[in-house]
Amino acid sequence: MILPIYLYGSQVLRTPAQEDDLSDKAWLTQFIADMIETMHHADGCGLAAPQVGVSKRILVVDGNDLTDRYPELKGFHREMINPRFTFESEKTCSYEEGCLSIPNIDADITRPETIRVRYVNPAFEEVEEEFSGFAARMIQHEMDHLDGVLFTDHASPIRRKMLTGKLMNISRGNVRTRYRVKTDKK
Ligand code: NI
């Protein structure tokens, strides 16, 4: 089922998400399938549960549409329940980011180049994995959503100032998207 995506300005995007207690595995399996369907429908490469109004620590990423720019992402996708960083490198790198909750906006964002994450996979196994390059970038962007943080928060002060008007319009729902969106007001 394709779910509507909450836009910048919605309270749920600023609320730290709760860990799931893994008690309802059928619900989790269906919800992750819905998140993947919603992400693909919107042509996104990542989605976090708060973006569809569910304040839980669940995220999905899929790099298969990005292989023109990042060939190493061929076949790369992850679905993570309760992810936590176990390592973030001091070495950083910069990539251009965007977000389905902040349509038609991008910014260069600097973040750690390599990360390790411990999470529960869709088979309900706890795993720890290391990621670097754009895969690490996608996961860090979605992990931020679970803490109520948006990529624009990390943009340079000048870039943030330039985006103020656009962000205001998005929070009012004044934005054109090919996918269904929601704000707190409508
Ligand atoms: Ni996002």
- Dump pLDDT digits (tens) for 15-30: 999 999 999 999 999 9
48 Cα to the center of ligand 1, angstroms? 7
Q: Report d(CA 80, CA 100) in Å as an integer.
A: 18
Average pLDDT, the chain: 97
Amino acid 185: pLDDT: 78
User: Is 90 exceeded by the pLDDT of residue 84?
Assistant: yes
Question: What's the residue count for the chain?
Answer: 186
Is 19 known to be catalytic?
no
113: its two tokens: 């180049």
| pTM for the full predicted model | 0.97
- Dump pLDDT digits (tens) for 91-150: 999 999 999 999 999 999 999 999 999 999 999 999 999 999 999 999 999 999 999 999
Q: Report d(CA 155, CA 34) in Å as an integer.
A: 30
* CATH numbers and ranges of domains, the chain: 5-182 (3.90.45.10)
Does residue 138 contact residue 45 with C-beta atoms inside 8 Å? Answer: yes
User: Is 80 exceeded by the pLDDT of residue 34?
Assistant: yes
Amino acid 101: pLDDT: 98
Taking a 5 Å cut-off on Cβ, the residues next to ion ligand 1 are 99
Amino acid 186: pLDDT: 63
The residues near 28 (Cβ < 8 Å, ≥ 6 apart) are 20, 22, 58, 81, 122
Q: Report d(CA 3, CA 31) in Å as an integer.
A: 10
Does residue 134 contact residue 94 with C-beta atoms inside 8 Å? Answer: no
21 Cα to the center of ligand 1, angstroms? 24
Select which of 79, 97, 113, 142 is catalytic: 142
The residues near 48 (Cβ < 8 Å, ≥ 6 apart) are 17, 58, 59, 142, 143, 145, 146
- Dump pLDDT digits (tens) for 61-78: 999 999 999 999 999 999
Residue that is written with structure tokens 């996708």 in the block:
77
As a whole number, mean pLDDT of residues 176-181 equals 96
Q: Report d(CA 123, CA 128) in Å as an integer.
A: 14
User: Is 80 exceeded by the pLDDT of residue 163?
Assistant: yes
